[in-house]
Amino acid sequence: MSSHPPSAPPAPSPYIALEDLPLKGVRVLEISHMIMGPATGMTLADLGAEVIKVEPVDGDRTRRLKSAGIGYFPVFNRNKQSFAVDLKSAEGQKLVQDLADRADIVLENFRDDSLQQYGLDYASVRARNPRAIYVSLKGFLSGPYKERTALDEVVQMMGGMAYVNGGDDRPQRAAPSVNDILGGQFGVIGALSALHERARTGVGKYIRAGLFETNLLLMAQFITQFELTGVPVLPFGSKREPPWGVYDLFTTKDGGRVFVAVVSDTQWRTFAAAFMPAGWADDARLFSAVDREAARPWVVPAVAEVFKTWNKAELCEALEKAKLSYAPVNQPHDLLQDPHLTQGGALMPTVLPTGEHISTPTLPLEFDGLKVGKRADPPKVGEHTVAILKDLGLDDEAIALLRQHGKIGG
């Protein structure tokens, strides 16, 4: 008889079971590149849709990007099938048309009318498959700029985001591809809304999401601020006075930096009692948020002197205990060790086609306490080409002939 104690049961998975994913059974054809299109396809794939990514025979060019672009393909292409095909050939066009004809959703992010020559524009797809929901991810929606090409940085510059993020004399783009990623999610919202409507009407819809209009929504609060006050927003990199007594970045004894925000009256009393000298919590000069804003010239330096006596880790622990809003200043890679993310399942081990191991984030969603996980790593070029062709009804001989003539890859 074994003397070893019984092993502990495995921890419950933080992810939804594959058979319970909400978009299971939905077919998506993704003809896209870079970020906005792949981000849209990834969200649909994560939610359970079968997403076939159409790539050139030698693969999506984002696979080969280096430096700042090296993360594009690894982050936005999990849970997809790769179909590598020569779309410039008649054979390749027919194959992709066949996939579009049986898709629930077709999504693309190329220039207007550029897919018409392949029979994959909206009008052509709708004529063959009226149930298809066609999602176009573009720089601009309807209006004078509709035909323009755009990038995230272009709309940040023309849409005020670079100005707001910059300093007094230098616009600065937001570092993440914020319009690409968020704009893609509006494409998802449109697609899911059209799916819901199709259940009633039996026909698809043409959905268009725009980078510039995404940027507009993100700038709306500053536009409204100007309309109501007549005062333009100052760049965040310039000297700005927050509307609260304590809403600042502070340096600790060990050189760490911590942002602390004390907004409400209740928070102020808690903060003053926990960190400031006796009497601060009851100081009549600091009774209201308006009072504390007016007192910033002497309040903020006093708080800064107090925080210089704390180490960063100890200060964060004390702020956490007091249930106050704070944030240590981290670099992006520090999130790989964040206990909330690692223990909550928000970072998923991912293996790239090169064999390299990375961590990628889940969608920032939970369904009944469960996240949507990873069914498949980012695919190799054409990894699923043969299986997809067989599903279309091609036999081994036909597939071999396509490969021999360079019409497919993988």
- Whether 339 is in a domain gets the answer no
- Structural domain containing residue 260: 246-331
List the catalytic residue out of 46, 86, 180, 377: 180
Write the CATH number for 65: 3.40.50.10540
- In tens, the pLDDT along 103-129 reads 999 999 999 989 999 999 999 999 999
Residue after which a domain boundary falls, among 331, 354, 376: 331
Write the CATH number for 297: 3.30.1540.10
Same domain, 256 and 199: no
Same domain, 59 and 168: yes
Predicted pLDDT at 2? 53
Same domain, 177 and 70: yes
Same domain, 323 and 388: no
How buried is residue 372: exposed, middle or buried, by Cβ count under 10 Å (0-12/13-18/19+)?
buried
Same domain, 38 and 170: yes
| Weakly modelled stretches of the chain, pLDDT under 50 | none
Predicted pLDDT at 33? 92
Same domain, 268 and 400: no
- Whether 34 is in a domain gets the answer yes
Q: Is 180 annotated as catalytic?
A: yes
Residue after which a domain boundary falls, among 331, 351, 384: 331
- Whether 348 is in a domain gets the answer no
- Whether 400 is in a domain gets the answer yes
Residue after which a domain boundary falls, among 331, 353, 388: 331
- In tens, the pLDDT along 369-400 reads 999 999 999 999 999 999 999 999 999 999 99
How far lies 56's CA from each of 101, 173, 290, 300, in Å? 20, 31, 60, 57
Same domain, 26 and 114: yes
- Whether 357 is in a domain gets the answer no
- Whether 135 is in a domain gets the answer yes
C-alpha 199/C-alpha 201 separation (Å) is 6
Same domain, 261 and 179: no
The count of structural domains within the chain is 2
Predicted pLDDT at 274? 97
Same domain, 30 and 156: yes
Predicted pLDDT at 222? 96
Predicted pLDDT at 273? 96
Tokens of 320: 């956490």
Same domain, 387 and 264: no
- Whether 238 is in a domain gets the answer no
Same domain, 138 and 180: yes
Same domain, 103 and 151: yes
- Whether 103 is in a domain gets the answer yes
